[in-house]
Amino acid sequence: MTQVDHTRMANAIRGLAMDAVEKAKSGHPGLPMGAADIATVLFTQFLKYDAADPAWPDRDRFVLSAGHGSMLLYALLYLTGNKDMTLDEIKRFRQVDSLTPGHPENFRTKGIETTTGPLGQGIATAVGMAVAEKMLAAEFSKKIVSHHTYVLCSDGDLMEGVSQEAIALAGHWRLNKMIVLYDDNGISIDGPTSLADSVDQVKRFKSAGWAAEMIDGQDQTAIAAAITRAQKSNKPSLIACRTTIGYGAPTKAGTAKAHGEALGAEELKGAKEKLGISLEPFSVPDDVLKAWREAGARGAEARKEWEARFDALGSRKRAEFERRIRHERPQALAKALRAHKKALLASPLNVATRKSSEAAIEAIAAAMPMEFLAGSADLTGSNNNKAKTAVNFSAKTPKGRFVHYGVREHGMAACMNGIFLHGGFAPNGATFLVFTDYARPAMRLSALMGNGVVYVMTHDSIGLGEDGPTHQPVEHLAALRAMPNMRVFRPCDAVEVAECWELALNRIDGPTVLALTRQNLPQLRTTAPNDSPCAQGAYELVAAEGAAKVSLFASGSEVEIAVNAQKQLAERGIASRVVSVPSLELLLAQPEDRKKAIIGNAPVKIAIEAAVRFGWDAVIGPDGLFIGMHGFGESGPAKDLFKHFGITAEAAVNAVLQRLG
């Protein structure tokens, strides 16, 4: 191994970060300069990774939760020899289509475990990675799965509320292979963190069941000793590393000026002179680069040893592990759901879609018992997403496949992102649809990253009844449909529920919301073809007798209302058709000819949904009729509420008659 002083290796990170931010005239140099010693110790002495194969399954995970300090991570990828991270990419920091965007994006740059930037998301997502490691190790043995999850976080990460949800879960589950390195520099954008915060983070983490200590984050010996202690702990560990933001900058070090803007030519020159770094932009001494490249190759031996252990497994076990890591669903899933739908046609299930979801889950869990990983934010009995055979996951039962997240919707959603990113599981989590408001930041990142997680959102409308407007979602369907790459299904009956579950589980390039009712619904579907009608977002459920004058579009519980309205119109000699729309945005994404065929050319188009109109004009047109909500809900029995707000078959019929004149 090339012997190079630690300080010179850390300064290579600092120099690249300063130069990249200066060239872009944008970015955050302060964190990479202050945390360079932490990163150098971690990457050269502890982190199990191989720069030549950044995705091998048993690597340690490193999450830069403080995503604004992205140049720290990009510098590390370049220095350690990640073949995609060239010096030219470092020079293109924050430019369009570069591999070095302003905040790390895992879908853009190899070697980045998760997309970060919104503070708190990284540390919360890392909890999910540590959970997946614990579960897989219990299933496949520690010879195959045994790695750490390291997080570098900032003051901002720990101020965000989701961090409390995350650390409480990690402590409760005793995720002892999770180690958080806290860049405790005492500075945020507005100035000293003392302006808004006086939390003792060490005590806070200890109270949540963590091992926690404070060290000098610029002392390489202290950093190494603390990580060694953390690796031996039977609890997750926090290492609060006291650092100086913008370390080395002559006038800006230790101030908010070093946080989120380029240092400027004079300050940059002064910092390099003070640290002993070449004034030549983007230069790294040959011996320093060689030492870093050797550090990047250090994990190759561990990877090869793991490959040998993996090859020694039985062929069936190897194939199962590889399939799970790829998120490839077992053939048994399609077979089980076909049988389930056949049973539904023979014996219709007239229950709430949350209950028909429960029935589908029984079939799913039997087909994929170890990878189907469900959970609820303290609403298990209401969400109905726990299979009868499911055992609770806990510190003592890591093979459990149902997770009690507590009242932590945001933490649950972030944790599921981490579980999916780690690989090996098909995670789903449940709460009420209205509480997607709490989970939304992590749901958005799920959509951005293309994570195939499933959100089981019950109590999907005013139909939940007496809990009233605080719990009744009216704008949430529209808001979720507006999110790029988020797919929303609102099935109308048990057969649609089964089809939507299958579509959701087979979608591994983006998240899916299943919006399910509290109130009972009739089973309307009488066929279940293999080419699932729900796959195109909408389909004609009931055809018109003759040329249709009216097309009735509806989702979920309102499809029943549309069917009843069609019958009443027929009694008046008006031919109409009913189109079930389980996924509005999936319908709108269909090829133009298919979309036009589904929507049809009836002169009157009416949509019925117990939610706001926003989004429906793409189907019914701006002159189309809409039966739904125009404000918030109210407390009362569900049937009374639908009548109170005029979401009835009679109201739809009257609107059509008025339009037809």
Which positions are catalytic?
A: 409
What is the Cα–Cα distance from 561 to 632, expressed in whole angstroms?
Answer: 21
CA distances from 396 to 31, 280, 403, 407, 507 (A): 38, 55, 13, 21, 32
What is the Cα–Cα distance from 460 to 488, expressed in whole angstroms?
Answer: 12
What is the Cα–Cα distance from 121 to 67, expressed in whole angstroms?
Answer: 9
Which token pair is 329?
Answer: 């669903």
Which token pair is 108?
Answer: 């853009």
What is the Cα–Cα distance from 602 to 96, expressed in whole angstroms?
Answer: 46
Note whether 409 and 491 are within 8 A (CB).
no
What is the Cα–Cα distance from 33 to 72, expressed in whole angstroms?
Answer: 8
Q: Name residues whose C-beta falls within 8 Å of residue 577's C-beta, 6 or more positions apart in sequence.
A: 540, 542, 543, 544, 548, 550, 551, 552, 566, 600, 602
Q: Can you list the alpha helix ranges (DSSP code H) found in 313-408? A: 315-325, 331-346, 353-367, 380-383
Cite the beta strand spans of 534-573 per DSSP E.
Answer: 539-542, 550-554
Note whether 150 and 61 are within 8 A (CB).
yes
Torsion of CA 387, 393, 399, 400, to 10 degrees: -10
Distance of CA 339 to the CA centre of its chain: 31
Which token pair is 228?
Answer: 């060694």
Looking up tokens 């830069």 gives 64
What is the Cα–Cα distance from 169 to 186, expressed in whole angstroms?
Answer: 26
CA distances from 66 to 172, 209, 317, 448, 585 (A): 24, 23, 37, 18, 34
Residue of 446, 439, 533, 534 whose CA lies nearest to 486: 446
DSSP letter for 605, please. E
What is the Cα–Cα distance from 484 to 444, expressed in whole angstroms?
Answer: 8
Backbone φ and ψ of 510, nearest 5°? 175, 160
What is the Cα–Cα distance from 494 to 472, expressed in whole angstroms?
Answer: 22
Identity at 578, one-letter amino acid code:
V
- Which element (helix H / strand E) includes 90? helix 87-91
What is the Cα–Cα distance from 467 to 433, expressed in whole angstroms?
Answer: 13
Beta bridge partners of 426: 372
Identity at 32, one-letter amino acid code:
P
- Which element (helix H / strand E) includes 181? strand 178-184
Number of other CB atoms surrounding residue 281 within 10 Å: 15
Which token pair is 644?
Answer: 């109170």
Number of other CB atoms surrounding residue 1 within 10 Å: 9
What is the Cα–Cα distance from 552 to 540, expressed in whole angstroms?
Answer: 10
What is the Cα–Cα distance from 258 to 246, expressed in whole angstroms?
Answer: 5
